[in-house]
């Protein structure tokens, strides 16, 4: 049978390019988990995806009710779950004030980390039940949460500190809206959320890989300077960022090629190793990359897991 893969945020950018690549392979049925149904439908059509290769299901990661509803709907659809790709993200580099999810968590960490954490925890049982030979849970990471690289050292740097803000619920009222308890900074909140994504992937690996055989992986697909992720940046930045990445840092990758990379992590028979953070070299060959000290801190991973469980009512 065809594989069945859920991709969050498949209505644009990397998620859409990956959906297209997998749908075209003829080996996958893609469940596009998106907050804007019409946008997702138009996006699927615009890249020429054939109707029989995809299903759109509503998911708003900034609402825990919506996450739970999505999981119920998916279970009722009767489809197996072979691979889950946590790809959606918000990035608010120019925001002066924090905004919040339905439950009152700061929006970037609430969406990118907490929404996906609940989603993957609730779907783990579905994956366990699938008879697919190579089951995978993939959480898209980023170099920006990776302080052992040049790009990861552009200030403000990611830093989760002692998690006091996360512990307090990131609500900006009686606690800080930032994980480390500091003042709100939209760019840092995004980077922190990506560190949480990479820590979560490794904690999943430690807790569940041996028993379930599921492959847990993260990746940095390259700098896809043209996606909607930068939609909230100032116009001059949006104009100069793509050529800067193309000609100066040479980290630029097109949406299509980045989609092919993520599609490899979904289905390539050689990328089955669990607990790995994949990256690609100049010749577009995949390799196991090193994570920064914080993004590979075992103790911190356990703490982020436990505090997140508490916030989400999972423990």
Pick from 61, 114, 291, 307 the residue near ligand NDP by CB under 6 A: 61
Q: How far is the CB of 126 from ligand NDP (least distance, A)?
A: 19
Does residue 59 bind ligand NDP (CB under 6 A)? Answer: yes
Does residue 53 bind ligand NDP (CB under 6 A)? Answer: no
Does residue 21 bind ligand NDP (CB under 6 A)? Answer: no
Does residue 199 bind ligand NDP (CB under 6 A)? Answer: no
> Residue 273: left (phi > 0), alpha (psi -120 to 50), or beta?
beta
Pick from 89, 201, 266, 295 the residue near ligand NDP by CB under 6 A: 89
Pick from 71, 88, 114, 158 the residue near ligand NDP by CB under 6 A: 88
Compare residues 190 and 305 and give the one whose CB is closer to ligand NDP.
190
Burial 284-299, CB ≥16 within 10 A → b, else e: eebeebebbebbbbee
Residue 235, judged by CB atoms within 10 A of its CB (0-12, 13-18, 19+), counts as exposed
User: Cα 255–134–256 angle (5° rounding)?
Assistant: 10
Parallel, antiparallel, or unpaired: how do β-strands 136-140 and 83-86 relate?
Answer: parallel
Pick from 2, 24, 27, 36 the residue near ligand NDP by CB under 6 A: 36
Does residue 304 bind ligand NDP (CB under 6 A)? Answer: no
Does residue 291 bind ligand NDP (CB under 6 A)? Answer: no
Does residue 292 bind ligand NDP (CB under 6 A)? Answer: no
Pick from 5, 114, 163, 229 the residue near ligand NDP by CB under 6 A: 229
Dihedral in degrees, nearest 10, Cα atoms 164, 166, 172, 177: 100
- Report in angstroms the alpha-carbon separations of 13 from 31, 213, 220, 225, 252: 16, 30, 14, 10, 14
Does residue 196 bind ligand NDP (CB under 6 A)? Answer: no
Does residue 9 bind ligand NDP (CB under 6 A)? Answer: yes
Which among 84, 88, 66 is positioned nearest to 120, based on CA atoms? 84
Compare residues 81 and 140 and give the one whose CB is closer to ligand NDP.
140
Does residue 64 bind ligand NDP (CB under 6 A)? Answer: no
Does residue 192 bind ligand NDP (CB under 6 A)? Answer: no
Binding region for ligand NDP (CB under 6 A) out of 31-39, 265-273, 280-288, 295-303: 31-39
Q: How far is the CB of 173 from ligand NDP (least distance, A)?
A: 21
Does residue 44 bind ligand NDP (CB under 6 A)? Answer: no
Does residue 62 bind ligand NDP (CB under 6 A)? Answer: yes
**Cis bond upstream, residue 156 (ω within 30):** yes
Site for ligand NDP in 138-177 (CB under 6 A): 140, 142
- Rounded Cα gap, residues 75 and 63, in angstroms: 19
Binding region for ligand NDP (CB under 6 A) out of 18-26, 32-40, 121-129, 160-168: 32-40
Q: How far is the CB of 65 from ligand NDP (least distance, A)?
A: 12
Applying CB under 6 A, the residues found at the interface with ligand NDP are 8-9, 11-15, 34-36, 39, 59-62, 87-90, 111, 140, 142, 194, 220-221, 223-225, 227-229
């Amino acid at each position: 049978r065809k594989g069945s893969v859920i991709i969050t945020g498949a209505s644009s950018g990397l998620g859409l390019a990956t959906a297209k690549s997998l749908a075209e392979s003829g080996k996958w049925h893609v469940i596009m988990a998106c907050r804007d149904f019409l946008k997702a439908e138009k996006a699927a059509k615009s890249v020429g995806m054939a109707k029989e290769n995809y299903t759109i299901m509503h998911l708003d990661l900034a609402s825990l009710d919506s996450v739970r509803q999505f999981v119920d709907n998916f279970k009722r659809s009767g489809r197996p779950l072979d691979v889950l790709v946590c790809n959606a993200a918000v990035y608010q580099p120019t925001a002066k004030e924090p905004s919040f999810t339905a439950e009152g968590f700061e929006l970037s960490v609430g969406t990118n980390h907490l929404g996906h954490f609940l989603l993957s925890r609730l779907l783990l049982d579905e994956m366990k039940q699938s008879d697919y030979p190579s089951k995978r849970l993939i959480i898209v990471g980023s170099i920006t949460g990776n302080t052992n690289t040049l790009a990861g050292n552009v200030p403000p740097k990611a830093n989760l500190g002692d998690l006091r803000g996360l512990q307090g619920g990131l609500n900006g009222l009686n606690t800080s809206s930032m994980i480390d308890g500091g003042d709100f900074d939209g760019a840092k909140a995004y980077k922190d959320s990506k560190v949480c994504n990479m820590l979560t992937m490794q904690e999943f690996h430690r807790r569940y890989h041996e028993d379930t055989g599921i492959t847990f992986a993260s990746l940095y697909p390259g700098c896809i300077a043209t996606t909607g992720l930068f939609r909230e940046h100032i116009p001059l930045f949006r104009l100069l960022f793509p050529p800067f990445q193309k000609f100066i840092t040479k980290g630029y990758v097109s949406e299509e090629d980045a989609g092919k990379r993520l599609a490899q992590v979904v289905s390539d028979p050689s990328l089955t190793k669990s607990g790995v953070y994949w990256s690609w070299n100049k010749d577009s060959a995949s390799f196991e990359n090193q994570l920064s000290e914080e993004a590979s801190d075992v103790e911190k991973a356990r703490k982020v897991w436990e505090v997140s469980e508490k916030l989400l009512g999972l423990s």
